[in-house]
Amino acid sequence: MKQTSFLTIIITSLFLSCSEDAPTYFYEPVNFEILRLGSNIIDLVLSQDGNTLIASDAGNNRIMFFDVSGEMFLTDVLVVGSKPNGLTLSANDDYVYVSLSGSSSIAVVEIASREVSYIPLEEDGPMDVEVLGDLFITTFISDQSVYHRTKLYNIASHEELANKPKAGLITKSDVGNSIFVLDKSFERVGLYRYDILNNNLEGNIQSSDIALHPAEFNDLHYVHNVGVAVAISGLDFEGNEIKNVFLFEPDGLNLLAHLDSKSAPLALASLDNGSSIFVSPSKEDGAGTFIIEFDTENFLQRNYYLTAGRLAKSVLVIDSENQYIYCAVDDQADNSNDEPYSNNSFDIQRIRIVPHDTYNINDF
């Protein structure tokens, strides 16, 4: 059942100026559009037509299907295997691929029939998955980084075609056949690029070291015509808490910018033309928790979108028409009980994207 929450916020903002009277801004009541689920949501994908949303629920070993063409509602629940994690759709949206981090397989769900098949793997715990034509890529993280692996497979035959000694979150370019792997090995966190050529993983382009290990991987996202955005939690090389997104250009993985999120970034998304990057921060400010929109021309904050509570890592998507943000949000209403996963009880929130220049954020 869909429920809507209401919150009234009044904020007084004072700015130093030549005048004696500083401006006061009043924020009107906010109507949150929320679909109540109370689930441990790990990943979200959205169909190209913007009508079907799919979520992985690791706490219940299932994926969930939602109709979001109008009012949001749950249409189907499908048990797929142990600890479903990363999701990716085939190019024509006929199939969704699910990395089962609690098993040794990838689940393949035919969306029309809801039939599930499995691709067996030789290693346990695939972390993430991407599909490129008739191939798929997955990663395996080991306690010893020397055993990390990114592997390329043929979908039809399940044959392993190639592997590289890096592993973590993966994302693919929307042009060409490049994949990007966020790896933590030998006390360092770095980004790697491989090109899929002749059924092989070619090249080994590496960014400069991003942070010290241990670090928590939150999200990795390819931004059209811009580069690769990295969201992690941890410490930088000066021992300070990381409070920004790292943005790298895609060819040589040179650092383009730091996007200042004020706290560790949890999730990333972008407009399909690459003009904006959206970031879910890990901490709220004095008025609440806001998803931040950054302009990719000047890397400054462009807009802010108020959410209903704490945000989930790696769970942020935007429809192909650039009209809505979908995120997983926890208003912490049920986190004081002893129910399993109550501290990871997330709902789906939909937020309408504000057209550029509606609010002149940086014009002061």
Alpha-carbon gap, residue 24 to 91, rounded angstroms: 49
Domain residue extents for the chain: 42-306
Alpha-carbon gap, residue 200 to 6, rounded angstroms: 52
Q: Which of 241, 287, 239, 291 is nearest to 263 (CA)?
A: 241
- Reported confidence tier of residue 334, pLDDT bands at 50, 70, 90: low
pLDDT tens per residue, range 78-112: 999 999 999 999 999 999 999 999 999 999 999 99
The fold for domain 42-306 equals Methylamine Dehydrogenase; Chain H (2.130.10)
pLDDT tens per residue, range 118-169: 999 999 999 999 999 999 999 998 888 888 999 999 999 999 999 999 999 9
**Parallel, antiparallel, or unpaired for β 310-318 and 301-306?**
unpaired
Average pLDDT over residues 324-331: 95
- Reported confidence tier of residue 6, pLDDT bands at 50, 70, 90: very low
User: Above 80 in pLDDT, residue 43?
Assistant: yes
Average of per-residue pLDDT values in the chain: 88
**Which percentage of the chain shows pLDDT scores above 70?**
86
pLDDT tens per residue, range 242-276: 999 999 999 999 999 999 999 999 999 999 999 99
- Reported confidence tier of residue 9, pLDDT bands at 50, 70, 90: very low
User: Above 70 in pLDDT, residue 20?
Assistant: no
pLDDT tens per residue, range 162-213: 999 999 999 999 888 999 999 988 778 999 999 999 999 999 899 999 998 7
pTM for the full predicted model: 0.88
pLDDT of res. 118: 97
pLDDT of res. 84: 97
User: Above 70 in pLDDT, residue 335?
Assistant: no
